[in-house]
Amino acid sequence: MARTIGSHGAKTTEAIRKAGLKLIYQHGYEAMSLRQLAAEVGIQVGSLYNHISTKQDLLFDLIKTHMDALLLALDRALSITGDPVTLLRAFVSFHVTYHIVRKREVFIAYSELRSLEPNHYEEIVAMRRRYERRLTEILEEGCRLGMFEVQDCRVAAYGILSMLTGVCTWFRPTGRLSRDKVIDIYSRQVITGLAPRSRETGRDLGEAPESRS
């Protein structure tokens, strides 16, 4: 991805990235043709190659750029002091917000992983793991302090991530619920879900009546 900053062509490059984002989001990487992409940008197919080196490279560039931004933003969002509950709430808020605002990047970065060449795939998956790790660490700290109670922090983290990420598949900014409302709802559902069992009663709603093997 050669990006000649300041030059006139930078505008075209950016337009290609934007159009690529849109079309890949809409139709998928495989289903998007460079013909479509060029048409969307308003240039000839061959001209694309003044800005990208390969269709595959465009995909990688889009995903990589997104992941970089995501990790950076997460760092900033979690650079607060507070107990695990506070951090978890910050995480939920950040994750949901980011996944709503950058809906398309987020979707592509996940659903087109398999379209990446092995090398690129590995690189992105590694970044994704770093992201997940941040949440897992919060859960682990919460368990240590007795604020959360989960049988497996990794599994819990995966569950939370799936739940939150799902937001970007149905949330509409113009819909019934505001973004903050959704964050509120999910924060409660997530944090309550990790609550330790009540000491007094000895059981809670989540425990199965009979034991399983």
Partner DNA sequence: CATGAATGAGGCTTCATTCAT
Partner DNA sequence: GATGAATGAAGCCTCATTCAT
By CB under 8 A, name the binding residues for its own copies: 26-28, 30-31, 85, 89, 111, 114-115, 147, 150-152, 155-156, 158-167, 169-170, 177-178, 180-198, 201, 203-210, 212-213
Residue 51 near which of DNA, its own copies, none (CB within 5-8 Å, type-dependent): DNA
d(CA 158, CA 203): 25
CB of 114 to its own copies, least distance (A): 7
Residue 101 binding partner per list DNA, its own copies, none, with a CB distance cut-off of 5 to 8 Å that depends on partner kind: none
Q: Which of 161, 40, 63, 69 is nearest to 112 (CA)?
A: 63
Burial of 75 (0-12, 13-18, 19+ CB in 10 A): exposed
Residue among 72 and 141 whose Cβ is closer to its own copies: 141
Report the alpha-carbon distance of residue 67 to residue 170 in Å, rounded: 22
Give least dist CB 158 to DNA, A.
33
Nearest to 114 by CA among 125, 104, 99: 125
Q: Is 108:163 a contact under the CB 8 Å cutoff? A: no
Site string for DNA, 45-74 (x = CB under 7 A): xxxxxxx--xxx------------------
